[in-house]
Amino acid sequence: MSLSPRLIRAALLVATAVVLGVAAGQLRDKRNVAELTVENIHKQLDALDPVTRAAVIARLSSDEVKKVRDQRH
């Protein structure tokens, strides 16, 4: 019994659609987690007193600058 090329093509298209749908769902879930994490970080920063908040932000900024400089070398 031989499968027709049309049937094989249709099966491949359906499988591709399913895989893309699953990938889109996973991407959406990861984005939601990232957004919730950012919101949580902002809430924690907002809860700090101004001096401590400024120190934390300065430290985070300097750490990121260091990472960028290290990646260039």
Contact 56, 45 (CB under 8 A): yes
pLDDT of residue 31: 97
pLDDT in tens, the chain (73 residues): 577 999 999 999 999 999 999 999 999 999 999 999 999 999 999 999 999 999 999 999 999 999 889 998 7
pLDDT of residue 1: 56
Q: Where are the beta strands (DSSP E) in the chain?
A: none
pTM of the model as a whole: 0.61
Domain range annotation of the chain: 5-72
